[in-house]
Amino acid sequence: MADAKYGLGRGLGSLIPKKAEIKKQHIDFSDGSYSGDEIFASDKDRIVNIDINKIKANPYQPRTHFDEEKLEDLVNSIREHGILQPIVVTKNGDGYELIAGERRLKAAKILKLFKVPGIIKEIDDSKKLELAIIENIQRQNLNLLEESDAYNRLMEEFNLTQDQVAKKVGKSRSSVANILRLRSLPESIKKYLNNDKISFGHAKLLLSLDDEKKQKLLLDRILSESLNVSETSSVLKKINVKSHSRIVEQDPNIKSMESSLQEHLNTKVKLNDKKGKGTIVIDYYSKEELREILFKILK
């Protein structure tokens, strides 16, 4: 089944019963809400039949784009096999608010089902966003810009650090930092990343250029010549050489210090040295990252 292909994060894993902990329980879905014969429940978390019209969307859902072809595949799978994995909801007044399983709910609505199997949980707002993000990331449902915005929401709305976000979603801090950097791309470039016209590798190379005009020129070449990441990197080197043609060769000592600073601060650093005088340019991509950089400098 397409919607259950990927494993769950630790957050979602705590919501849905594990096979070792569940027992068979027959529930009547003769009203068309479920086409299978059996459904499972644990002693603690019963899977119940929920009226589909009483379920509201999760306001913290980070996903904005849904692949129509994949959604159609899921519809066909549910039509044949039923909803094999329950959605997760929380009580909201007289109804419910969705936490995990938006694609399953959309597919159920397309099939005009009356009810869907679900687990009801009591969860606060920060946990709703966290679990929605974890579910989508674990299932590889979010595109890169949605993922970047989701990480930023966790940091801004719930005062989390990049390290905390990385631990919650099961990724390295550097991976989270690189994805957050995508937010600084011009909107004119973001749309190509959003539509899979360029890859994450292309985007990182474009971010290495400090001028939007240069970024757009490189983007035009990527698109017009169908350049892969390796070819784009070669073009970028030529652009950098041309832009700094007045500099014959960078002092190896300066280059070494620049590399050491980049490694220590975990961000892009540029040393502009002219006969022992110059400037240090340090890039940061969020308020939290700025605070972490200052902490490393001042400690």
Q: Where are the domains of the chain?
A: 2-138, 185-246
Q: CA 169, 171, 173, 177: dihedral to nearest 10 degrees?
A: -80
Q: Is 233 helix (H, G, I), strand (E, B) or coil?
A: helix
The predicted structure's pLDDT at residue 7: 36
pTM: 0.54
158-217 pLDDT, tens digit per residue, is 788 888 888 888 888 888 899 999 999 999 899 899 888 999 999 999 988 878 888 998
What DSSP string runs through 48-90?
A: EEEEGGGEEPPTT-------HHHHHHHHHHHHHH---S-EEEE
**How far, in Å, CA of 179 to CA of 145, rounded?**
8
CATH number of the domain at 2-138, out of 3.60.130.10, 3.90.1530.10, 3.30.2320.30, 3.40.30.10?
A: 3.90.1530.10
The predicted structure's pLDDT at residue 199: 92
Sign, CA dihedral 143-145-148-153, equals negative
Residues of the chain whose pLDDT is less than 70? 1-45, 60-67, 126, 129, 135-141, 240-250
Cβ neighbours around 208 below 10 Å, total? 15
User: Which residues lie closer than 8 Å to 218 by C-beta, 6 or more apart?
Assistant: 205, 206, 209, 232, 235, 236, 239
Sign, CA dihedral 273-263-133-199, equals positive
The predicted structure's pLDDT at residue 151: 87
**How far, in Å, CA of 220 to CA of 213, rounded?**
11
Q: By the 8 A CB rule, do 283 and 268 touch?
A: yes
Positions marked active-site: 102
